[in-house]
Amino acid sequence: MLDAFSPRCARPRAATLSVVLLVALLAGCSKAPPPAPDVRPVRAMVLAAGNGAASAEFSGDVRPRYESRLGFRVGGKISARQVDVGTVVKRGQVLMQLDPQDLRLGQAQADASLRAAQTSAELARAELKRYQDLRAQNFVSQAVLDEKIAAARSSQAQAEAARAALRNQANQTGYARLLADADGVVTGIDAEVGQVVQAGTPVVRVARTDEKEVVIGVPEDQVDALRELADVKVRLWADPDASIPGKIREVSPVADPATRTYTVKVTVPAREDIRLGMTAVVALQKKGDGQAGIRVPLPALVQNGGATSVWVVENGAVRLVPVRIGGVSGNDVVLVDGVRPGQTIVTAGVNLLKNGQKVRILAADVARRGDAEQEAIGGAAAAAGVKQ
C-alpha cells in the first residue's frame, strides 16, 4: 500500500487543485449580468381642463364693521354692571351704572338756585311795575325807571340761566346710566364695579351685528390685482362647502409694519350662521384671459435652466416638458401652455428624476381620487405599461 504522503499520491491532488483554480479564474473573467432598471415610485395626477381664471385665497376672520368703545359722559364710581361678554343687547339697554348720589345732590342744588332766581325775578318785576306807576304820576325820574327796567331784565336772565343749569344737571344725572347705542353684542368689558372712572373712559365694547366683514392681509405684489377681480367668494372654516358672496369694501393704503401686508376688508351678508371671530377664507377670483388653463399643484413644477417645466409620464417613463404659468389659484398654479388635458404628470419626487427615468405611480395616490380620475389614471398607466 502506498503512503498517503508519498510522491505518487501528491500528483493527483495537485492536478485536481489546478483544475479548480482554472475554473475560478475563468468565472472571474466573465461579464456581470446587467443591473435591473431603476424604477422610482412617484405620485401623479391626470390633468383636467380649467376655465383659465386664476384666483388666490387668503385666511382671515369675521369682524364687525362697527365696534363702539362706550364710556360714561360723566365721571364717578361704577356701582353696577348689567352685562357680560357675549351678551346680546338692544338699543337703549342699560349696560353699566354709576353711583348717582353726587349727581343727584348737584341736581338738587341747581333746582334750589333756579327757585331763588325765579323769586328774585318776580320781585324785580313787581318793583318795576310800581316804578312805572310812579313815573306815570311824575313822582320819579326816567333814569330811576330805567334802572328798575335793567334790574328786572337781569333777574329774568339769571332765572333762565338757572333753569338751563338745572336741565344740564338733570342730564348729568341721567348720564350715570350707560346705554347701548345700537343693537349688538358685548365683545369686551374694560372696567368693573367699584372702579372710579373719568368721563369718556371706555368701559364696555359693543359690536353691531347688522354689518360684518372678513379682514385679510394681502401681499404687496397682489394689491394692484384687486382692481381686476371678477368675483369674491368667502368660505367659513365651520362650513367649507358653502360659498358666500363678498364685496371688497376697503383696501388699506399702508402696509402693516409687522407683516408687510395690506389689510383688505370684505363685506359679507348679514346672516345668523356668520358669527364674529369665525375663521374664513376669501377667494379672490381674477378675470380670465380667454386661454384654457390647467391647475396643477405647486410641487409639480421643476426649475430647469431658468425655465419652468413638469415631468410628463409616457410609456412608463418621464419626460421633462417646459410649461408657461398663467396665474395662481389657491395653492395651485394655472398652466396655459406646454401640457394638455389627459396627460399624466408627476406631483411629488420631481427633483429625483431624469429624462427617460422609469417610474411607478403609487397606488395610494390613485386611491385618493374620484372614480373618474381613477379610471383615467388606470387607463393611462395601462397604455404606458406602468404597473399599478
The larger pLDDT score, comparing residue 383 to residue 34, is at 34
pLDDT attached to residue 325: 82
- What is the arithmetic mean of pLDDT over 112-130? 93
The CATH number that applies at residue 85 is 2.40.50.100
* Strand, helix or coil for residue 70: strand
Q: Are residues 224 and 279 in the same domain?
A: yes
Alpha-carbon gap, residue 165 to 49, rounded angstroms: 78
Same domain, 91 and 105: no
Claim to verify: residue 200 and residue 225 sit in the same structural domain: no
**Domain assignment of residue 136, yes or no:** yes
Contact 205, 89 (CB under 8 A): no
Q: Which one is predicted more confidently, 95 or 355?
A: 95
Query: Of all residues in the chain, what percent carry a pLDDT higher than 70?
Result: 78
Q: Is the dihedral of CA 373, 374, 375, 380 positive or negative?
A: positive
Position 33 in a domain: no
- The answer on 282 and 186 residing in a single domain is no
Q: Is the dihedral of CA 165, 168, 172, 174 positive or negative?
A: positive
Does 13 reside within a domain?
Answer: no
DSSP state of 185: E
Residue 335 cell numbers, joined: 398652466
Residue matched to cell numbers 371678477? 230
Residues 232 and 264 in one domain: yes
pLDDT level of residue 85 (50, 70, 90 thresholds): very high
Domain boundary among the residues 244, 263, 286 is at 286
Helix (H) or strand (E) holding 324: strand 324-329
Q: Same structural domain for residues 94 and 181? A: yes
Task: Specify if 119 maps to a domain.
Answer: yes
pLDDT exceeds 60 at position 241: yes
Q: Do 89 and 107 lie in a common domain?
A: no
Reported residue count of the chain is 388
For the chain, how many structural domains are there in total?
4
Q: Is the pTM of this model over 0.95?
A: no
299-339: per-residue pLDDT in tens?
Answer: 888 887 778 899 999 888 889 989 988 776 666 788 888 88
362 and 277 in one domain? Answer: no
φ and ψ at residue 267, rounded to 5 degrees: -75, 135
Same domain, 191 and 309: no
* Residue 270: partners with Cβ closer than 8 Å, 6 or more residues away: 209, 210, 211, 212
How far apart (Å, rounded) are the C-alpha atoms in residues 108 and 223? 61
Asked if residue 12 is part of any domain, the answer here is no
Query: Is residue 324 domain-resident?
Result: yes
Query: What tens digit of pLDDT does each residue of 128-165 get?
Result: 999 999 989 988 899 998 999 999 999 999 999 999 99
Residue-number span of the structural domain to which 193 is assigned? 72-99+176-208
CATH label of the domain that carries residue 112: 1.10.287
Residues 6+ away with beta carbon under 8 Å from 388: 361, 363, 366, 378, 381
286, 308, 325 — which closes off a domain?
286
**pLDDT grade, residue 340 (50/70/90)?**
confident
Of 194, 6, 168, nearest to 98 by C-alpha is 194
Q: Say which residue the cell 374664513 belongs to.
A: 280
336 and 299, same domain (yes or no) = yes
Inform me whether the pLDDT recorded for 382 exceeds 50.
Answer: no
CATH assignment at residue 268: 2.40.30.170
Residue 330 sits in the same domain as residue 367: yes
200 and 85 together in one domain? yes
Rounded Cα distance, 68 and 103, in Å: 26
Query: Is residue 261 included in any domain, yes or no?
Result: yes
In a domain, 34, yes or no: no
